Amino acid sequence: MHLLKSLGPILLALNLMACGSNNNESLKTMRPDAFSEDKAQLGLPQTVSGKLFLLGVATIDGAPTPAGSGLANKLVFFEKKKHIVYMFESLDGKLSTDSIKTKKLLAEFPVIRSIGGVDQIDFKRGMKLFFNLRSMYASDGGSAPTEKVLKVTNSYIDEIKMRGNSTYIRQIVRLDVPATARSAGGNESIELRYTLTPYQPNPEFKLKKSSLMKKVGYFETYPVLEAGSGKSVTPIMKFDLSKPITYSLTRNIPDQFKQAVKDGVLYWNRVFGREVLKVALLPEDASVHEPGFNVVQWLHWDTAGFAYANMVADPLTGETLQSHVYMTSVFGLGGIRRARTYYQRYLANSKEEPKKIELGMKDFQSSKLCAYDYSRSMKDLGSILATVDKMTSQNKDLNPETLFKRFAEDYVRQVVAHEVGHTLGLRHNFAGSLHTNIAASQFEEVFQRYFYNDEIAADTIFGATVMDYTPGKTASLLGATIRHGLKPLAYDSAAIEWGYTDKKLKDVEAPLFCTDSHRGKGTFHDCKIWDRLTNSVEGAKLDWDDALSGHSFKLASLFAFLGPKEDFQTPKPELEESTEVDPFEAIKKIRLFPKKDAAALIKEFKALADMGNVKTEFLSVRNLFPSDLSVMETPDYKKQTKAFKSESFLKVGGLTKLLVGDFTPGSDNRTPLRIMMEETFKVNFAKIYGEVSVDVMTAVTKKMTAYFNYLDRELILLNAVTLAKTKLAFRPEGLPMAIKDLVLKTSFESSNVVVGTATNGFEIRLPQFSYYSGALGLRKKVAELAKSTFGFTTSFNRQMAEVKTEIYKQHKSWLDSVLKESSMNALDDELFDYVTTEKARFSGLK
């Protein structure tokens, strides 16, 4: 191992030729030939030869997202041979044996001149390669990532300066990026920020071995090998608490959210039980990924909703040396009008499939610890805005602007706390939402007390951690607990206690834990993101209800040109010449997409329905049994899982009602789902726009009735397609009769459209639910449900046989009416084909 003696700062020599020593002009305004080849040089004392330095590198992405990401630190040392200084990577902790000596070359720097024992080297010419390896390791991620080495084709040294005892270098380069299966490759521009610091092991820091994602989860550095034995240790990433830990906030954070950001950082002091973290402003002359700063960077970018964290550590010990948090301004959804602006933009963009925001160059290893997706978190935004409209219309003393500002600030508190938690080392815990004492029936009341009165009961538990991905309502409730100074969350406390003390894992008492790798396996349906409540079935039912009410609000929001009431201002479309809008023409021009909307709603519904599947498991049940489940314990585990599903679905109205009853049209040919959405639409419309003329309301009603006709049929069809493939875990009461009612209603209810008249005078009418979506026919797919077993035994099939008999009897009655005193051959060609198709549809039900 290389022994390091105490070193002073690197001697820095900066020679800027032709353009002066402090030229801050834009690169675009400079001529490439204005620079000499020796524009920038590093002075390297010859006495440091063979001594260790810590080489850090961060990338700053180019257009359209100039955000940063720190990569894995390297321990390096320098050796000079003649007129070349070579930089090698230290192999400490990387070799299983030291019996054979070897070196790993990284770069060679030409020596420009040697003066007074200092070699002036050309950094630009030496750094011809870029080493790309993400800064953190995940022991649960399968194979370890391999380092990618890319060739630098062009290089521009933008700045070299000293920060403390570190040399800081900003280099803008073009890289040859090879083609992969995902991209064509090419030559791309990126900014690199290097930091070179004398390395000295921290005697105060105590390495902590990884828990390997059991009970608690921490990010890790790459395994450190012991030369000789070949044994490896995987350190977790964490700060040294004996040093001051200050988070520097960028100066562009809006005044409204400065306190919220501070609160999100300082929440962790309550978790530690003492002051560990401090907050300061980032110096005006400093930027992200400069040495010596943990930065919370606010990005002014209202059209992108993401937040992420990044950190770098000592590769031998796991000590976190620097961290960064990035948040886009959309998280500061500062008021009701801005919320509506975002929502309108969301509606406009939702007409196409959403495209994932790519941060960074293609095929680069990401060192971003998470990408907190605003649009996914705020999937309940429509439901929240609808609630605001309802409550403020009932109580004129409520100011929606004030209410939503507080909501947005609390949301920012939670997101900042989440990202800072990552920088402290913590991985996601997607089981955090299971640890709450709020019943499903109480959730909306609890939320509304907070939203309208800022009431948070001290004993209310909204979750176990800020390290979960939670919907907007839950996220803001968690942020409110931070603002109110309530007790820190249980998992956060347990995880920090384990990681930052000598406490052993077996002695840790922590709520349920599951992280990205567990969720990726898809085994447990309560190890999910954007969920809520202890009972995941009840939580999914609330999400389904929110999806329906939010969709209704979305539809009502499309009529902004009608001029919303003052309390509910929604941005109007920009007009080229006049602000006068013909409402009837505008109503005609509104484009609606019932097929696309139905697909999105069914996707939300499927998350609930899948929990009744025979293969579905739940972490909350599995945790009641030993981790190494034996064959003797398996039957009891399966029994308890089945009982959990049955009891849970009874709490939300029963599986039969959810899967079949809500999709069965009533006497007015509308399903309960449609009735609920239509009525909610009308309420939202009235609250937002107030009174409109009878003629305008008639035009709106006509358009929306046609839309809901399509939407209702598409939902029935999609649900039937999904349900036919389902194998249920338990037999819900009344399922056969419910299927019979659904088939009879959709198959035999007649419309006013006449197909033709039989030779006996019987008028054949088109069925009310004759609907096709591409090649899929609604009546055909629903009728096939009568032949489904849903994974049950022959006794269930016996009940379904009776159902099939009833359905076929109805068909036979219709057929007898068509052919009474006649025959198939007596029908004209069009009716012959129609009746033949109908006979085939029900022939399998005899």
Which of 264-268, 330-334, 371-375, 487-491 bottoms out in mean pLDDT, i.e. has the lowest?
371-375
The pLDDT value recorded for residue 278 is 98
* For residues 69-77, average pLDDT: 94
Which tens digit of pLDDT belongs to each residue from 613-636? Answer: 999 999 999 999 998 999 999 999
Cα 462 to its chain centre, rounded Å, is: 19
The pLDDT value recorded for residue 472 is 86
How many residues are present in the chain?
A: 846
* For residues 130-136, average pLDDT: 90
CA distance 525 to 519: 9
Parallel, antiparallel, or unpaired: how do β-strands 320-328 and 294-299 relate?
A: parallel
User: Considering only CA atoms, which of 191, 193, 192, 190 is closest in space to residue 167?
Assistant: 193
Yes or no: say if 598 and 771 are a contact pair by the CB < 8 Å rule: no
The pLDDT value recorded for residue 39 is 52
The pLDDT value recorded for residue 363 is 44
Q: Which residue has the tokens 């034996």?
A: 630
Yes or no: say if 525 and 617 are a contact pair by the CB < 8 Å rule: yes
Q: Is the pLDDT of residue 670 over 50?
A: yes
Please report which residue ranges of 566-671 form alpha helices under DSSP H.
583-589, 594-609, 619-622, 634-651, 655-659
Q: What is the DSSP letter of 570?
A: -
Name the more confident of 23 and 682: 682
CA distance 446 to 460: 9
Q: Which helix (H) or strand (E) holds 683?
A: helix 672-689
Name the more confident of 300 and 302: 300
Which of 295-309, 423-437, 474-488 bottoms out in mean pLDDT, i.e. has the lowest?
295-309
The pLDDT value recorded for residue 141 is 76
Please report which residue ranges of 485-593 form alpha helices under DSSP H.
490-499, 516-521, 536-556, 583-589
Which tens digit of pLDDT belongs to each residue from 727-739? Answer: 999 999 999 999 9
Q: Which helix (H) or strand (E) holds 447?
A: helix 443-453
CA distance 140 to 212: 7
The pLDDT value recorded for residue 10 is 40
594-609 vs 694-724: helix crossing angle, rounded to 10: 50
Yes or no: say if 597 and 711 are a contact pair by the CB < 8 Å rule: yes
Name the more confident of 333 and 49: 49
Determine whether 200 is exposed, middle or buried from the number of CB atoms within 10 Å of its CB (0-12, 13-18, 19+).
middle
Yes or no: say if 534 and 522 are a contact pair by the CB < 8 Å rule: no
Q: Is the pLDDT of residue 770 over 90?
A: yes
Q: Is the pLDDT of residue 486 over 80?
A: yes
Question: pLDDT confidence of 7, banded at 50, 70, 90?
Answer: very low
* For residues 8-34, average pLDDT: 32
Question: pLDDT confidence of 368, banded at 50, 70, 90?
Answer: low
Question: pLDDT confidence of 669, banded at 50, 70, 90?
Answer: very high
Yes or no: say if 495 and 211 are a contact pair by the CB < 8 Å rule: no
Question: pLDDT confidence of 574, banded at 50, 70, 90?
Answer: very low
CA distance 173 to 155: 4
Question: pLDDT confidence of 9, banded at 50, 70, 90?
Answer: very low
Q: To the nearest whole number, what is the mean pLDDT of the chain? A: 86
Q: Which helix (H) or strand (E) holds 53?
A: strand 53-60
The pLDDT value recorded for residue 81 is 95
* For residues 703-730, average pLDDT: 97
The pLDDT value recorded for residue 718 is 98
Q: What is the DSSP letter of 237?
A: P
Long-range contacts formed by 14-21: CB under 8 A, 24+ apart? 14/40, 14/41, 14/160, 14/161, 15/39, 15/40, 15/41, 16/40
Question: pLDDT confidence of 68, banded at 50, 70, 90?
Answer: confident
Task: Give residue 714's identity as a one-letter amino acid code.
Answer: E
Question: pLDDT confidence of 341, banded at 50, 70, 90?
Answer: low
The pLDDT value recorded for residue 403 is 82
* Ramachandran angles phi, psi of 372, nearest 5°: -70, 105
Beta bridge pairs of residue 193: 58, 170
Which tens digit of pLDDT belongs to each residue from 789-833? Answer: 999 988 899 999 999 999 999 999 999 999 998 999 999 999 999
Q: Tokens in use for 19?
A: 């353009």
* For residues 495-499, average pLDDT: 98
The pLDDT value recorded for residue 507 is 94
The pLDDT value recorded for residue 293 is 94
Q: Is the pLDDT of residue 566 over 60?
A: no
Give me the percent of the chain exceeding a pLDDT of 90.
Answer: 67
* For residues 260-264, average pLDDT: 97
Q: What is the pTM of this model?
A: 0.86
Q: Which residue has the tokens 């003492």?
A: 274
Yes or no: say if 789 and 797 are a contact pair by the CB < 8 Å rule: yes
Q: Is the pLDDT of residue 504 over 70?
A: yes
* For residues 594-604, average pLDDT: 96
CA distance 541 to 604: 10
What is the number of alpha carbons within 13 Å of residue 840 lying toward its C-beta?
A: 7
Question: pLDDT confidence of 434, banded at 50, 70, 90?
Answer: very high
CA distance 408 to 402: 10
Task: Give residue 777's identity as a one-letter amino acid code.
Answer: G
* For residues 675-685, average pLDDT: 94
Which tens digit of pLDDT belongs to each residue from 370-398? Answer: 655 555 555 666 667 766 766 666 666 77
CA distance 191 to 145: 22
Q: Where are the domains of the chain?
A: 12-200, 245-622, 734-846
User: Considering only CA atoms, which of 249, 324, 244 is closest in space to residue 282?
Assistant: 249
CA distance 840 to 820: 19
Yes or no: say if 841 and 815 are a contact pair by the CB < 8 Å rule: no
378 Cβ contact list (under 8 Å, min separation 6): 305, 333, 471, 472
User: How is 87-136 classified by DSSP, letter by letter?
Assistant: EEE--TTT-S--SS---EEEEEEEEEEEETTEEEE-HHHH--EEEE-BS-
The pLDDT value recorded for residue 845 is 85
Question: pLDDT confidence of 306, banded at 50, 70, 90?
Answer: confident
The pLDDT value recorded for residue 744 is 97
The pLDDT value recorded for residue 750 is 95
The pLDDT value recorded for residue 29 is 27
Yes or no: say if 432 and 467 are a contact pair by the CB < 8 Å rule: yes
Which tens digit of pLDDT belongs to each residue from 342-357? Answer: 555 555 444 443 333 3
User: Considering only CA atoms, which of 738, 745, 707 is closest in space to residue 598?
Assistant: 707
Q: Tokens in use for 530?
A: 């954007």
The pLDDT value recorded for residue 435 is 96
User: How many CB atoms sit inside 10 A of residue 603's CB?
Assistant: 12
